[in-house]
Every structure is written in structure tokens, then in C-alpha cells.
Structure 1
Amino acid sequence: RLTKRFNEPTLGEVFWSLLGRNGFAVQTHEERVQATVEILTHPEKYADYFIMQDLLIEHDENIVMWRYHHILMVERMLGMKKGTGGSEGVGYLMTTLSKKFFPELWEARTHLKVSPLP
């Protein structure tokens, strides 16, 4: 089952594909940011997409919180020793806090002139 899942589209791929099928240009990083800005600046016009992208941002936030709790647990149990599999342990795990599944959704906020709240 896991191999089958790895061969299926990611949540992000499904989201960008949905936007592409509905008229948004989403082939490049810049186009995805621009599509997100369009959705954020017209929430009444794109209500479903607005809600979806907000839920994807929330998903990213929840993953970061999980990672942070995991880091604290690892540090509590192992200190700064090497991690399982020979990784750098806590040092490596700290680098994962800045990784995002949907960077375009985050970057789009930088380009807004007003708050994305309706």
C-alpha cells in the first residue's frame, strides 16, 4: 500500500492541478504565487479555493508544530547525540522546521497589499 501511495499525486500536486483545470496558470513557482495572490485578494470570487489554500497552510503549520515537539522529545531522550540512522540528530531535525510543503502559499502573503482576511 505504501508503494502505491508514493506513486500517487501529492496533496500539493492535486491542489495545483485543480487550479490549473480551472483557468489558473500554475506551471511555475511564480505562477503559483500569482494564482495564490489572486485567490487571496478575491476571496468572495474564489471562496472554495480560498478555504482550501487556508487549510493547506494550516496543514503546514501543524507539521511544523509536530516537528518541533519531535525535536524536543529527541533532545530529551538523546540529548545532542547522533540520531537514528547516523543522522546529526537534533541538529538535523532543527533544519526541518523551515521546510514547507506549500511554499508558494506562504510566499504569496508577501505580495499582498492588505490582509487576506475577508
Structure 2
Amino acid sequence: MSFFANKLTELMKSHDVSDQKLADDLNISRTTVLRWRKGERSPKLNKISEIAKYFSITPEELIGESSKKSKENLSPNQILVASHIDDDVTEEEMNDILRYIELIKNATK
């Protein structure tokens, strides 16, 4: 299970928040919360911020980045692109995405 899934489960338990309560408060389905907690899906960047605010922690703490040093600082555009790639993307699909990005970059040179 992912760090996020474990952290979300831990936070919900410590704050006595049910799946349905969190779903209602974040205006999402209960199934979405269950998938997050099982590690089947990950929330988009905007939902990570909402969840962190809901539990009064930072987004970095929620996803396990508070103690890790980033090898590079990502630009807002890189974060935006990354937040739109689902966890269930295959390696082949990811390679296609990276090739497309390189194609776009080379076309603008």
C-alpha cells in the first residue's frame, strides 16, 4: 500500500472520520475514498491539498515528502502534468507520454 493510503487511513482513524463523512465533506464519492485507502487510486493534486487542509497538515506530510529531499524542484507546469497521470498508467503508456513531450519540446526549437 502507498504512503498516502496508509497516512489517510491513519488520519481518518485518529480524527474519527468515516469514509462517508470524508466523502461528503470533500464532495466526492465514498467509493473514491475507499479506492484511495486501498491504494487503488491516488487523488489529483487539488484534492491532496483539500485533504491536507481538512486534517490540518501539509500536502507534503500527506504524501510523505516532508522528510525526503527532492532531487530537483519541479515547476508548476511539471506538477500539473504529473498530477494528471493516473497510477494505473502502464509503462508503455508512460513512455508514449514522455515521447510526446519530447516531440513537443523539439517542435518548438
Q: TM-score, normalised by structure 2?
A: 0.29
Q: Which has the higher contact order (CA 8 A, sep 6+)?
A: 1
Decide which structure has greater helix share: 1
Q: Which has the larger radius of gyration?
A: 1
